[in-house]
Structure 1
Amino acid sequence: MSKRVTIFEPPPLDNSKAAIENVLDLTPISDIGPDVFTNTRPLWHPPGARGIYGGAVIAQCLSAAQRTVPDNFFVHSMHCYFVLAGDSEIPIVYHVERVRTGRSFATRTVQARQRGRPIFTTTLSFNAANSGGKKRLEHDSKMPDTPPPKNISNPPEAKSPFESQRLDDSPYLTSDEVNIEDRKFRQWIRIRGKISEQGGHQAHLSAFAYMSDSYFIGTVARLHKIPRFSSPTALLRALKALKNPSDVDSEALSRYFEELAEEEAAEIRASSLNGTLTTNKLSSIIKRKDNREIGMMVSLDHTIYFHNPQALKADDWLLASIDSPWAGEGRGLVTQKVWNRDGVHVATCVQEGVVRLMQDEDPAPEAKL
């Protein structure tokens, strides 16, 4: 019997929605329970990754939980743990538990499961709009003085579900005069197209959750000026794989990850003399003089604080400032502050992940993940 990548046959794409809304669409499984959902469409497994793109599971868990709270409740925090690598060739089932619903706050937990085992778990807290009263304590982080990209056209037919524009020089060229913990990586991000009226503000929040996992734990390696690919062979293999994307992927996601890998390759090419991608050429770039190479880099947890969810519009430019205050013990911590174009601090994200270097000898069995 052949494996199905979704439980139900996916419907045609809804052209009235943004591409990301189609990517994150959920289907209720009423035969199992009232708060059980599954991915409507196949999810992407990036070449070289241990599993499906984490942002998709984060976003779909949020979408599932949002379906179980009153319309005037908006998420203000979600705390996530990646448990097992997700398999793109079998469906995901999302189980929502209604832990508590009060007058001002509601709590939900969501487990994403495959083969009956949890691959991802999250606890979310929702806050009723305007429940803080008229008198409030307020302060905010100031947005860096950085104007949005001048090219503000956002055609819905563009080839990736979201786009980004980096503001800093290539991380491989970052000045050594700046301490690693003080370096910042900044980019403008937004989804392509326009969120539909049907999707409403909940779709904006889910779309942002999807984007929040892009360029996150990889910041640790960037700030140390170590490419994410552990060897020239690994990079060439990933680029070759991207030329033949999986037929279970949506066209938009496939093209997005093509751009992602090409951007990484372009950074490396920029450090070479003639831009030719060969194993010998990459050896001198990827394998540094200190012989530091990334052996493993995977996310362990992911937290999002939605400070002002109603001011967060995922289809308009958002400025993300990303840094890493700490790395050690084979792990790294990364924080991300996000403002809208009006300077409102709309969210803060935190992620910890495994960041291990290639060792001279294989680690002991108990040291492996």
Structure 2
Amino acid sequence: MSKRVTLFDPPQLNDSKAPIENVLELTPVDDIGPDVFTNTRPLWHPPGARGIYGGAAIAQCLAAAMRTVPADFAVHSMHCYFVLAGDSEIPILYHVERVRDGRSFITRTVQARQQGRPIFTTTLSFSKANSGGRKQVQHASSMPPVPLPTVPSPGQKRFDENRGGPFESAKAGIVNRDSNPEEKKVRRWVRCRGRISDAQHAHLSALAYITDSFFVGTVARVHDIPRFSSAAELKMALKALKNPSDLENEDIVRSLNELKEEETAELQRRLEGALSKLKEKNKEDHKEIGMMVSLDHSIYFHNPWTFRADEWMLTEMESPWAGEGRGLVLQKIWAKDGTLIATCTQEGVVRLKQDEPPRAKI
């Protein structure tokens, strides 16, 4: 008997919804409990990753929690821990716990489980709209003056050469490219494809999904280390793919094109110029990523009522520290009108390939 990827047979994709809404759709599991949900559709396993795309677990936990709070409350923070790699061939159950219901704030915890084991856990806090009073302390980081992506002419390739996947992106440059790693800032425009429904919870879930993209990988980027050091290594990662999502072909194309966009120039430099120099260098100067996986992820939603995830948003990522086999990344996200809508942090394992196998295990 074949393994069931979702608890229930997935319905047909709803063409009236944006792709991200289909990807993040949840199904209640009333037989288990009133606050238990499952993924309606298979989840994406990116090439080279140990498990499902983390943004899906983040976004679906948020979507599950939002179903248990009144409509006049919006999430203002969520703090997440990646416990185990999610298996795309096994259904996920999202268990929501109603920790506290106050007049101004509501607290929820959500645990994502596969075969009874927790793979992801998060605590979320919701605040009531307009509960801050007329007099408030206010300030926000200003959006840097970065021009919006140019709309492609008919027949031209799209921004990220991606014809599928729930969101698209366009590079917006690297600040302090020739400086030390901790001084660099990587910028990128992102937006969901199609038109998301007007319900704000759909835009919040979509934003949560996007926040995990390119995140801990910033550590490798500011050190100019490619994620895949050869075409053969990338091919091996693709062969290791388990069950892709409903958007199988498009998502794989998206991954390949993102990798090509991010790493081709660096890989070409290594192959054409650096290989001759590497013969003269000590082996310790040559760095390759051995493992890169997220440990925790936090999102602070600053203006949850005032943005659309299907419009361009500017992200800026920087890494203030890396060491002890880990790296920390900070991310700011602005709406296209300059409103700061979220600040995120993520720490992950970033280990280089060693001459000797590492002793420590996660």
TM-score, L = length of structure 2: 0.90
Distance 1:361 1:245, change over 3 A: closer
Following superposition, the deviation at residue 248 of structure 1 comes to: 5.0
Following superposition, the deviation at residue 158 of structure 1 comes to: 4.7
SS state at 1:210 partner: helix
Letter in 1 for 2:289: I
In structure 2, what is the equivalent of residue 217 of structure 1?
216
* 2: CA distance, partners of 1:213 / 1:306: 14
SS state at 2:95 partner: strand
Following superposition, the deviation at residue 268 of structure 1 comes to: 3.7
* 1: CA distance, partners of 2:61 / 2:229: 31
Letter in 1 for 2:236: R
In structure 2, what is the equivalent of residue 352 of structure 1?
347
In structure 2, what is the equivalent of residue 277 of structure 1?
none
1:118 paired with 2:118, answer yes
CA deviations on 1:277-317 (whole Å, 9 max, x unpaired) are xxx99x99xx9871211111100000000011112210011
Distance 1:140 1:303, change over 3 A: same
* 2: CA distance, partners of 1:234 / 1:219: 20
In structure 1, what is the equivalent of residue 286 of structure 2?
291
Following superposition, the deviation at residue 272 of structure 1 comes to: 6.4
In structure 1, what is the equivalent of residue 319 of structure 2?
324
Within-5 A mapping of 1:15-164: 15-151=15-151, 158-164=163-169
* 1: CA distance, partners of 2:69 / 2:325: 39
SS state at 1:309 partner: coil
Unmatched 5+ stretches in structure 1: 275-279
1:368 paired with 2:353, answer no
Distance 1:273 1:354, change over 3 A: closer
CA deviations on 1:171-197 (whole Å, 9 max, x unpaired) are 9x931xx12111000001100111024
Distance 1:152 1:288, change over 3 A: farther
> Given that residues 44 and 254 in structure 1 are in contact (C-alpha distance below 8 angstroms), is that contact kept between their aligned partners in structure 2?
no
> Given that residues 218 and 329 in structure 2 are in contact (C-alpha distance below 8 angstroms), is that contact kept between their aligned partners in structure 1?
yes
Distance 1:247 1:99, change over 3 A: closer
In structure 2, what is the equivalent of residue 174 of structure 1?
177
CA deviations on 1:48-107 (whole Å, 9 max, x unpaired) are 111000000000000000000000100000000000000000100000001011111000
In structure 1, what is the equivalent of residue 305 of structure 2?
310
> Given that residues 245 and 254 in structure 1 are in contact (C-alpha distance below 8 angstroms), is that contact kept between their aligned partners in structure 2?
no
In structure 1, what is the equivalent of residue 187 of structure 2?
186
In structure 1, what is the equivalent of residue 261 of structure 2?
263
Distance 1:182 1:91, change over 3 A: same
* 2: CA distance, partners of 1:13 / 1:38: 17
Distance 1:150 1:233, change over 3 A: closer
> Given that residues 80 and 122 in structure 2 are in contact (C-alpha distance below 8 angstroms), is that contact kept between their aligned partners in structure 1?
yes
CA deviations on 1:92-137 (whole Å, 9 max, x unpaired) are 0000001011111000000000010000000000001111011111
CA deviations on 1:202-247 (whole Å, 9 max, x unpaired) are 0101001100000000100110111112555322433x549x9956
Distance 1:182 1:60, change over 3 A: same
* 2: CA distance, partners of 1:273 / 1:301: 35
> Given that residues 181 and 324 in structure 1 are in contact (C-alpha distance below 8 angstroms), is that contact kept between their aligned partners in structure 2?
yes
* 1: CA distance, partners of 2:33 / 2:152: 44
TM-score, L = length of structure 1: 0.88
SS state at 2:305 partner: helix
Distance 1:288 1:103, change over 3 A: farther
Letter in 2 for 1:122: T
* 2: CA distance, partners of 1:202 / 1:152: 30
- Which stretch of the first structure deviates more once superposed, 292-301 or 253-262? 253-262
Distance 1:318 1:248, change over 3 A: closer
Within-5 A mapping of 1:214-293: 214-229=213-228, 233-238=232-237, 241=239, 246=243, 249-251=246-248, 252-268=250-266, 270-271=268-269, 290-293=285-288
CA deviations on 1:17-53 (whole Å, 9 max, x unpaired) are 0000000000000011110000000001112111000
Letter in 2 for 1:313: R
* 2: CA distance, partners of 1:270 / 1:360: 24
Letter in 1 for 2:354: Q
Following superposition, the deviation at residue 264 of structure 1 comes to: 3.7
SS state at 1:167 partner: strand
Unmatched 5+ stretches in structure 2: none
* 2: CA distance, partners of 1:241 / 1:161: 23
> Given that residues 98 and 109 in structure 2 are in contact (C-alpha distance below 8 angstroms), is that contact kept between their aligned partners in structure 1?
yes
> Given that residues 174 and 225 in structure 1 are in contact (C-alpha distance below 8 angstroms), is that contact kept between their aligned partners in structure 2?
no
Over the matched positions of the two proteins, sequence identity in percent amounts to 62
Say how many residue pairs are matched.
Answer: 351
Could you list the structure 1 runs, at least 4 aligned residues long, displaced by more than 6 angstroms after superposition. 152-155
